Structure 1
Amino acid sequence: MAGVLVTLFRFAIDFSQYWLLPDGQTGNYEALPGWLRFLLPVAGALVVGLIFERLPAGQRAVGIVHVLNYLRFRKQRLPLTNAVVQFFGGWLAIVSGHSVDREGPGVHLGAATTSLLTARIKLNEDDSYLLAAAGGAAAIAAAFNTPLAGVIFVIEVLRVRYTITNILPVIVASVVGAIIGRLVYGPSPAFDVPAVSIGSLIELPMILVMGVLIGLLAAGFILAVQYIATQTINWRPLPAYVLAGLVTGVLAQWAPEIMGLSYDALNRIFHNGMDLQTLLLLVVAKLVATAFAIGLRVPGGLIGPSLVVGGSVGGIIALLLFEWSTDYTGTAGFYAMIGMVAMMGAVLRAPLAALVALVELTGNLNIILPGMLAVVAAEIAARSLVGETSAFTAILKVQHAREATQDHPEVPQPAMDDGNDTKSGR
């Protein structure tokens, strides 16, 4: 069920973009005139903001942060209303060009589906807890055709403790999610993964430098999200979303590739389809637009944007190598793939899930060594600035501070840690 709902969510986005964007190409926001690139995210923000203004505060909670709240504090089930809000809010935000992804909403939808099913069949608290996490794994597997990465994602991000009893249902759900995604969208459901290879071991120092740079960018992104969320802690949804729409609309005048999922931009990077100036603009604009969208609580995710930023940094490194060395025989796709997973691992603080995703996406075991080097370098660099805080736990801290001032908080207010789950052996 989780995989089916996530696939339906993606279909709703693709169908809307097919009819909205020129030539029926999903993600083709670059072909829109400048005035429409500005108007579209602002109009989308107005619609989503007006809807959210009419909802009680508890029903506005969506995304992976909402799922983490549920798993961390053991609520009985994820509410149906929040899942419905996530489906339509995420759909509107993505189609209108906000710099968010469908994977974050997908994890919420997958977890909510299994959570509601367990409530119907009256499973105990532990089983309900576990199967909600399994739904999240199915969502990741269906989105990227990465079943093993979906399992590791649940362990690293959703903080499910690894035991045989816990992990078996997660594996089953992840496999089923991957099968559904493959049946509907083929073996490369998100983007066209290129053939990748490292030209020479001499490139490893450059990969190390790239990993450090990406880790610093990831830490800066986490701090920016936390700062924006803190400064707008008491804002109502409408002005918050409109500000996010204005930021996106302005930046899209110079970097239209930031709008929506931006996976079409990744495909161009894989095949040397962007020049250096475009890539630099994409990195800066995507980071800023996404930081505002996530910090202002636009109902979308940040996994996809982290992949796009990392892939763009990898593309920049590849172009520089082509300029500096006529003997360079590597590919832009290689550095883009390495950069993608390094950024994902550092932002989510999930290095193992990122590395496993790299292997599953490329099907190339030779990429493990450079991938490990980049992922570890990015993790260490990010940790030096923000400790163990991920983008999700940063938002959770701000959310708890906001809920503490409300009469009816979504969850009790225990002390927050930086992401290490020590509760109930889970």
Structure 2
Amino acid sequence: MSRKMHDWFSRQMESTRLHLARPDALIQLAVMGLITGLLAGAVIVCFRYLIEAAQNFALRGNGPDAFESLTPWMRFVFPLAGAIALAVMFRWFAKGLYVLGVARVLERMAYHQGHLTLRGFVLQFFGVAIALISGHSVGREGAHIFLGACTGSLLGQKLELPNNAVRTLVGCGTAAGIAASFNTPLAGVIFSLEVIMMDYQLASFIPVILSAVTATVVSNAFLGNAAVFSVPIMELGSLKEIPLVVILGLLSGTLAAGFIIMVKKIAGKGKVWPIEWQMMAAGISIALLGMWLPEVMGIGYDTINIALIGGYSAGLLLLMAAAKLVATSICSALNVPGGMIGPSFFIGATL
């Protein structure tokens, strides 16, 4: 680039930065939201491809999450090997950065104007990939949210945009992550505005919705738009079934409260351990549970689809719900990278 071209570009960027700091920068923010959606969608597609290709190879072509196809001995080795890899990565590369996912995004938005780091991006990308490939009981959706938010934040920081623009791009990336995960742009927009940004101004809404739609288009182009769950046609047989629905709601709420309490208690005991010992404890726990009940390994979407068509007995479903609750509590409390949305679906569906 010639000197004159470089100077012209620098002047244009400085003018854009100054304009983005003003409340009337809707068009510029909309363009940045569009770019964030493209980048976040591409990151999530690469992330999904990495996990699914590695799982398909490791699980002998039986598809993602098909840990039931492994021998009991291999189901013990997989989580243990993953725990060792995670322990090494977080011990030597994390530099004290152990809390990632949605909690990290909220903390950086509240206290650091949405500035996320490349280190966190790399830890989340490869950490969650290792955890899922090795069968730990975590989800990928929390990682999608963090990776999308981090993509927007890093883009804003790279262009030296003002803090208000960086915060908007974090919201754009968050919406893009959810939209690309579930093929639901509107849900991504609502979550981003309600939970992450806590802002419903027009200057925030339009860039966020553009980002969510763009990421959905990118995801559909590469991953397809097939639904994650094959839900059969459901209808209420009679009003006598309503009490069952009420009972299920009460049981689900009780189980959710128990899950939160269990996570807090395990985290309280485990926080005094070095991060490598936390990873190893989680890996050994999942290895032992996986040898006994392989359905609890990984996210468990394949198990949910079988449960939806009545493929399990009531006793086995209850057993899987309890085991998944324990496995997810351990992984979440001991800082194994990954989300809880997928495992929560599993627990609710089997219940």
1:42-53 to 2 correspondences below 5 Å = 42-53=80-91
User: Are 1:144 and 1:188, in contact at CA under 8 Å, matched by a contact in 2?
Assistant: no
In the alignment, structure 1 residue 5 sits paired with structure 2 residue 51: no
State the match for 2:220 in structure 1.
182
Task: Determine whether 1:25 maps to 2:63.
Answer: yes
CA drift at 1:54: 0.7
TM-score normalised per structure 2: 0.85
Deviations 1:28-70 (A, max 9, x none): 1011111111121011101110111113544434211111111
Change (3 A) 1:182 1:200: farther
Could you tell me which residue of structure 2 aligns to residue 162 of structure 1?
Answer: 200
1:296 equivalent in alignment to 2:334: yes
- Give runs of aligned pairs for residues 396-415 of structure 1, distance below 5 A: none
1:302 shift after superposition: 0.7
Q: Distance in 2 between matches of 1:201 and 1:185?
A: 40
Contact 2:167 2:197 in 1 (8 A): no
CA deviations 1:61-83 (Å, max 9, x no partner) are: 42111111111213452101110
Structure 1 CA distance for aligned equivalents of residues 271 and 295 of structure 2: 29
How far apart are 1:273 and its partner, in Å?
Answer: 1.2
Query: How many angstroms apart in 2 are the aligned matches of 1:236 and 1:289?
Result: 20
Alignment CA distance shift 1:159-1:285 (3 Å): farther
Other-structure match for 1:93: 131
Which one has a bigger Cα radius of gyration? 2
Bigger shift: residues 251-260 or 163-172: 163-172
SS in 1 for 2:264: helix
CA distance in 1, matches of 2:95, 2:237: 53
CA pair 139-67 structure 1, distance change in 2 beyond 3 A: same
Query: Does the 8 Å contact 1:147/1:178 carry over to 2?
Result: yes
Q: Kindly provide the amino acid, as one letter, of the partner of residue 240 in structure 1.
A: Q
The 3 A distance-change label for structure 1 pair 70 and 189 is farther
Give the match for residue 346 of structure 2: 308
Equivalent in the alignment of 1:324: none
Distance 1:76 1:240 in 2: 28
1:168 Cα offset (Å):
1.9
1:235 equivalenced with 2:270 (yes/no): no
- The answer (yes or no) to whether the contact 2:176–2:214 under 8 Å persists in 1 is yes
Amino acid aligned to 1:208: V
Q: Which residue of 1 aligns with 2:257?
A: 219
How do 1:72-91 residues align onto structure 2 when only pairs under 5 Å count?
72-75=110-113, 77-91=115-129
Paired residue for 1:255, among 265, 271, 293?
Answer: 293
TM-score using structure 1 length:
0.70
Determine the structure 2 residue equivalent to 1:414. none
The answer to whether the 8 A contact 2:98-2:335 is kept is: no
Q: 2:227 & 2:181 partners in 1: Cα distance?
A: 6
- The corresponding residue for 1:410 is none
Paired letter, 1:249: A
SS at match of 1:23: coil
**Structure 2 counterpart of 1:32, one-letter code:** L
Which fold has the larger relative contact order, with Cα–Cα distance below 8 Å and residues 6 or more apart in sequence? 2
- Amino-acid identity (%): 39
Change in 2 beyond 3 A, CA 1:193/1:9: farther
**1:108–1:163 CA distance, 2 compared to 1 (3 A):** same
Q: CA deviation at 1:189?
A: 5.1
Length, aligned pairs only: 313
Q: 1:74 to 1:200 in 2, by over 3 A?
A: farther
Runs (5+) with no aligned partner, structure 2: 1-38
- Report the Cα offset of residue 171 of structure 1: 1.3
**SS of residue matched to 1:97:** coil
Residue 121 of structure 1: CA displacement?
2.2
Q: Say whether 1:124 aligns with 2:136.
A: no
**Contact 1:22 1:28 (C-alpha < 8 Å) held by counterparts:** no
- The question of whether the paired residues in 1 share the 8 Å contact of 2:109 and 2:115 is answered with no
119-128 or 214-223: bigger deviation: 119-128
